[in-house]
Amino acid sequence: MKKYFLLAAIILICSSAMPTLAQDFSKVEIKATKVAGNVYMLEGSGGNIGVSVGPDGILIVDDQFAPLADRIKAALKTLGEGKLKFVLNTHYHGDHTGGNIAFGPDAPIIAQTNVRKRLSEEQKSKFFNRTTPASPKEALPVITFDNAVSVFFNGEEIKVIHFPHGHTDGDSVIFFTGSNVVHMGDDFFNGRFPVLDLEAGGDVEGLPKNSATSLANCRPA
């Protein structure tokens, strides 16, 4: 069986990871773990953050929740002195993009077209039983793409590939091609039944297909 480095996207399911007025972030600690090559993982609350660290600076994949931004910034400082240069969003859910408001003024946010579209508009979800207001301008992606984009950073090509209709209609999977690490966003749930946001274009048949395609794109470690 092939071995590969999987930066498991999420520990908490989205519904529990979404912020509510009662959610208390005061005790959340940000833990950093080296995955492979240039890539680290930050765990806190919400989708795990992928981090590329090296001579070009820092790139992050997703940014959890705004109240954690200062702790995330402090954790990044422990990994390297370089500046934050890019933020990638794997999809629009708040446990992956809530920190955009804090990181957007520091670095351009890159995401698939549908992510910006959804963040720009009020989202009403029956499944999550809530209405999420449109994000302010500084929290929106400023670079969007339809199918794929590459960022050449820290000596490797970081491929950001859109996988349509899996968890949402705006999912991207991030391949750190030199480090041989993949960040699956919420197209992969570790050890639990996946969440599909059907109201936002998620698809039951699409999700396993996306996982299989992602796996096929990984090389043995």
CB burial class (10 A; 0-12, 13-18, 19+) of residue 107? middle
Identify the residue among 19, 38, 93, 202 touching Zn ion (CB under 5 A): 93
Distance (Å, whole) CA 175 – CA 158 = 6
Among the listed residues 11, 49, 64, the one whose alpha carbon sits nearest the alpha carbon of residue 192:
11
Least distance from Zn ion to the Cβ atom of residue 188, Å: 11
* Residue closer to Zn ion (CB basis): 37 or 201: 201
CA 67 to chain CA centroid, Å, is 17
Q: Is 118 in the site for Zn ion (CB under 5 A)?
A: no
Minimum distance, C-beta of residue 200 to Zn ion, in the bound complex (Å): 9
Which x/- pattern, by CB under 5 A, does the window 186-215 give for Zn ion? x-----------------------------
Report the residue number, 14 or 111, with the smaller CB distance to Zn ion.
Answer: 14
Q: What is the b/e burial string over 130-139, where b = at least 16 CB atoms within 10 angstroms of the residue's CB?
A: eebeebeeeb
Among 7, 14, 35, 41, binds Zn ion (CB under 5 A): 14
**Residues numbered 137-166 forming contacts with Zn ion, rule: CB under 5 A:** none
Structure tokens at 82: 């370089």
Q: Would you tell me which residues interact with Zn ion (CB under 5 A)?
A: 14, 93, 186
